[in-house]
Structure 1
Amino acid sequence: MDQFITAFLKGASEKNFQQLAMEFLPQYSALISKSGGMLSPETLSAIHYALQEGRLSDVMNQIQEAISAAENAVLEVAVIGESGTGKSSFINALRGLGHEEAESADVGTVETTMYKTPYQHPKYPNVIFWDLPGTGTPNFHTDTYLDRVGFANYDFFIIISSSRFSVNDALLAQKIKDAGKKFYFVRTKVDSDLYSEERTRPRTFRKEQVLQRIRDYCLSNLTDIGVSEPRIFLISNFDLDAFDFPKLEETLLKELPGHKRHMFALLLPNISDASIELKKHFLQEKICLEALKSGAMSFIPFMPFISGFDLPQQEQCLKDYRSYFGLDDKSIEEIAERLETPLEDIKGQLKCLDFWSFVKDDSIIARARSAGEAFCSVKGGLGSSVVQALKVYYMRTQFLNVVVEDAKHLLRKMETVNIA
């Protein structure tokens, strides 16, 4: 991360824009190597040409447009399944809601979805999960189903079953493929299958063998009814970190467009240290882009005074990170209830709640640094660019690291309670 920022500032300061343009793409590729980034190929190309010609203002505009697109992305997910397959539980899990909460999707063994039903994410209103009628319902007709549910609006389709996938599922998958959309088969309730198998065959029970048998059965089932190379994910809606849910996350993140990939990463639940680190990775990319944007903008005299990273923006940044990782005030209250621990005791264990501990520094060095920053901002140019880029990068990174540490701490406490 540091090398990415440093190389960009060095190239810009030396006005070696040809070299900067040549190095930008490989540096960015290294930055996003884990799960892809938010910049589209078109945006990367535009930035490349702008750098070649030394148009830093255009670079700034391209980055700002990409960040805005990611923050305002609309993501609509279609979830298809028959009654009792765990469709509603799957939707609730991705929305971070328990089944008894007022906004949760209805869960039951009878068909509760005869028409498409939208469920908005409680934190991200632009993210909507659509509960669609299953292929076994009376209203299902292969030739008209996708048009009737408005297939063009959905970013991808999840086809859910808790046992075997049907011929109708296969026909629907082919229709989705023909329409140019992505689809994924999700086999739910594997935890129940494992429990039943262990109860009935305690001496010969082998977890991995049972899981492989379920996977092979689904593959054979779908292949026999005409689906070539189906992608199947075995999950438990009540234990998301187990089985294939992390693999499903990774697959979706890789295959979504950049701006929607970022939005999807933010809504993923904190089910493990790995899932928290994945979300952190996406935010680190955004931090780097925001730092570059700030650095490019700060070449202009007085610009940091107009749109710099000041105290109100810093406080909002920390609040946003807390929300992304489920550490906003409402979420902390819910965690305290689940842990049956006094709210103040939980708050006392979290470092991210005290904003002023990050920014309050009345030392002589801090005052001198502030004066130097103001002087550079008036002049603009290289000095201002370096100061502002590093300020944005290091302060946001500090916020992010502390929030991630707190999120992992609470996750471990929750895991302890669940084990007990």
Structure 2
Amino acid sequence: MDQFLAFFLKNAKGMNFQQLATEFLPHYSSLVSKAGGILSPETLSNIQKALQDGKLKDVVDQIHEALTAAEDAPLEVAVIGESGTGKSSFINALRGLSHEAQESAKVGVVETTMDKTPYQHPKYPKVTFWDLPGTGTPNFLPDTYLERVGFANYDFFIIISSSRFSFNDAVLAEKIKDVGKKFYFVRTKVDSDLYNEEKTKPTFFKKERVLQQIQDYCLANLSEIGVSEPRVFLVSNFDVNAFDFPRLEEILLKELPAHKRHAFALLLPNFSDAAIDMKRDFLREKIWLDAMKSAALSFVPFMTFFSGFDLPKQEACLKDYRKYFGLDDKSIEETAEKLGTSVQDIRAYIKCWDFWSFVKDDSIPAKVTHCVESFCAVKGGPTASVIQGLKVYFLRLKFLNTVVDDAKLLLRKIETANLA
């Protein structure tokens, strides 16, 4: 990533904007998550055009607008299912909450009205999961359901069943499709099905065969009742790393608008290395875009891209990263309780709590010095600002990489405890 910043500063100085425009997209593509990035195709096109025209202020504006949209974007998720299908458990799983948590969606509540219930994410207040009445409720009317629940407010719909999907589910899915929204069928309680099958047929039990049977049954059922090319995801609300939960989250990310992906990526539970890495990729992309915006600003007259190395601001950034990866105070306390250990024991083997060790790390100024040497021929940009910007850039990368390593280490501890 830092190689492109050096390339950018060198070519911007030489007014080689065509080369910058050509190289920008390949560098950006190599950086983003496989689920997609923060920048939309339109924004990427606008940045390339601005680079071709040598309009660095326009580059700054495009990146700033995209990052602001990603940070401020609300995310509204509609979850539809009858009582007893595991709807509340699914919502709790996506919110990273146990059923015993005070703010969790209540499991097993009898559903008899057309009321919709919002559940805000405990860490991300702009993310809300809506528990909508199922299609089996007495008042369900396909022609008016979407308007009654305010379909326009939701980014996508998840239709849940713990057995077979109904004709009403199929009708609702088609209506959601007609209004231009995405929907996903989720088959819950797969772990219970496997357990029952193994207990009743231990001799012939094969996990993969049973899962395939459930999948085939759901697909045939939905096709029969009129859903074209249905997609069904098999999940366990109590083991989110199993079955199709990871694939569902990846597809949701890919199909969300670019500015919504960032919010959804951050709320992903740290249930696997792959989930942690995906979250890291989104944050690493944001660091890179901030740095590129700053580099472009250094060539705009009378503007600087960093006013100085603000320690409180950097410490706040580290705290945010800890929150994103479940290493904040509250999360550590909850993890310690689950593991039957103390908060002090957990903090003893993770490194991201000592902010001052990052600031005093000699490797940071060493990297900055090395890069500044590459830029020494650059004239016309505020060198002091470049130094400050790069210092923040490398420091935040070190924050992120350390927090990711700690999150994976804690995940190993949790997995070991669960196997004990």
**TM bucket, shorter chain:** over 0.9
User: Could you report, residue by residue, the CA deviation over 1:81-109 in whole angstroms, capped at 9, with x for unpaired residues?
Assistant: 00110000000111111111111111006
SS in 1 for 2:259: helix
For the residue of structure 1 that corresponds to 2:44, the secondary structure is helix
112-121 or 337-346: which moved more?
112-121
| Structure 1 position 309, deviation (Å) | 4.5
Which residue does 2:176 correspond to in 1? 176
- Distance in 1 between residues matched to 2:59 and 2:206, nearest whole Å: 56
**2:253 alignment counterpart:** 253
1:42 aligned onto 2:45: no
* Amino acid paired to 1:80: I
Match of 2:398 in 1: 398
Segments of 5+ residues of structure 2 without an aligned counterpart are none
Distance apart, 1:4 and its partner CA: 3.4
Distance 2:143 2:16 in 1: 58
Distance 1:17 1:143, change over 3 A: same
2:339/2:414 contact within 8 Å kept: yes
Whichever residue aligns with residue 404 of structure 2, its letter is: V
The alignment-based identity, stated in percent, is 74
Please name the residue that 1:122 is paired with.
122
What's the RMSD between the two structures over aligned residues? 2.3
Name the SS for the 2:142 alignment partner: coil
Alpha-carbon offset, residue 389 of structure 1: 4.5
Q: Does 1:68 align with 2:51?
A: no
Which secondary structure state, in structure 2, belongs to the residue aligned with residue 123 of structure 1? coil
Instruction: Return 242-251 or 107-116, whichever deviates more.
Output: 107-116
Alignment of structure 1 residues 231-270 onto 2, 5 Å: 231-270=231-270
- Give, in whole Å, the separation in 2 of the partners of 1:6 and 1:306: 17
Whole-angstrom distance in 2 between the partners of 1:170 and 1:62: 41
Task: Give 2:132's aligned residue.
Answer: 132
What residue in structure 1 maps to residue 155 of structure 2?
Answer: 155
Written as runs of structure 1 = structure 2, the 5 A alignment for 1:379-398 is 381=381, 383-384=383-384, 386-398=386-398
* Partners of 2:152 and 2:26 in 1: CA distance: 35
Tell whether the 8 Å contact from 1:304 to 1:388 is kept in structure 2 after alignment: no
CA distance in 1, matches of 2:362, 2:26: 41
Q: 1:187-207 CA deviation, whole Å, 9 max, x = no partner?
A: 000000000000000010000
Distance in 1 of aligned mates of 2:166 and 2:302: 65
Separation in structure 2 between the aligned mates of residue 305 and residue 8 of structure 1, nearest angstrom? 15
Q: Contact 2:190/2:236 (CA < 8 Å) preserved in 1?
A: yes
SS of residue paired to 1:307 = coil
TM-fit CA distance, 1:317: 1.1
**After TM superposition, what 4+ stretches of structure 1 lie above 6 angstroms from structure 2?**
none
Whichever residue aligns with residue 291 of structure 1, its letter is: A
**Corresponding residue for 2:274?**
274
Contact 1:113/1:131 (CA < 8 Å) preserved in 2? Answer: no
More displaced stretch, 241-250 vs 306-315: 306-315
SS of the residue corresponding to residue 354 of structure 2 reads coil
Offset at 1:293?
Answer: 1.2
| Corresponding residue SS for 1:332 | helix
Aligned length: 413
Find out whether 1:27 has 2:27 as its counterpart.
Answer: yes
Sort the Cα spacing of 1:389 and 1:86 in 2 relative to 1 into closer, same or farther, 3 A.
same
User: How far apart are residue 140 of structure 1 and its match?
Assistant: 0.6
Q: CA deviation at 1:303?
A: 5.2
**Alignment-derived partner of residue 325 in structure 2:** 325
Contact preservation (8 Å) 2:156, 2:181: yes
**Which residue in the other structure is 2:228 paired with?**
228
Q: Deviations over 1:118-151 (max 9, x none)?
A: 0000111110000000000001100000000000
Residue 285 of structure 1 is matched in structure 2 by 285
| Residue 249 to residue 113, structure 1, CA distance change in 2 (3 Å) | farther
The DSSP-based 3-state class of the residue aligned with 1:77 is strand
- Structure 1: gaps spanning 5 or more residues: none
